[in-house]
Amino acid sequence: MARRLDEILVVDVESTCWDGPPPPGEMSEIIEIGLCRLDVATLERVEKRSLLIKPVASQVSAFCTNLTTITADMLDDAGTLADACELLTRHYRTRDRLWASWGDYDRRQFERVCTAQNVAYPFGTSHLNIKSLFATVHHLPREIGLDAACAHAGLPLEGTHHRGADDAWNIAAILATLLRAARAG
């Protein structure tokens, strides 16, 4: 099937985390998938969504809550990773679309957690690393964080940093500025 290039799905995941290594028997797993659809023709952000996921192999630590604002209580009624991946493939057609994230962490985390939980990986082979693209376009000596990139690009950091939907929204804004500049150049 041909790739659909009408929109780019920008994805940001939040995962269970600790101030140090995970406790014995636990692993970092996805607890939120944030996404933002970027219309390629208009370069407008057309949707912002958060999919919360109940962890099965870890607990939400105080460190994780402090970083992300996600609490264990928020995930009590959340769906499974399999539910979220099925929604991504069915509703967003992620196997047919270019998807993007800030760095390779999100892609690698999806691969690791899907393998560990025996869940079908929801994406095709086309992934865009916006963090590397941003550093390359701006001739930076190294990749920088999302908050620094927004400041560098003169964009506001909207919402709560380290919440998937808000970060995906901000990443999509950065991608839109890069694509606008490419079209103008």
pLDDT for 4 equals 79
Run means of pLDDT, 10 residues per run, the chain, 185 residues: 84 98 97 98 98 98 98 98 98 96 98 98 96 98 98 97 98 98 91
Output the domain CATH number for residue 53.
3.30.420.10
Tokens of 47: 């949707």
Structural domain harbouring 27:
4-184
d(CA 99, CA 138): 21
Q: What is the pLDDT of residue 2?
A: 64
pTM recorded for the entire structure: 0.96
Handedness of CA 126, 132, 135, 136 (dihedral sign): negative
Q: Would you state the pLDDT for residue 3?
A: 73
DSSP character string of 127-172: EEEHHHHHHHHTT-SS---HHHHHHHHT----S-TT-HHHHHHHHH
Question: What CA–CA distances, in Å, run from 170 to 12, 30, 117, 158?
Answer: 10, 20, 29, 7
Number of separate domains in the chain: 1
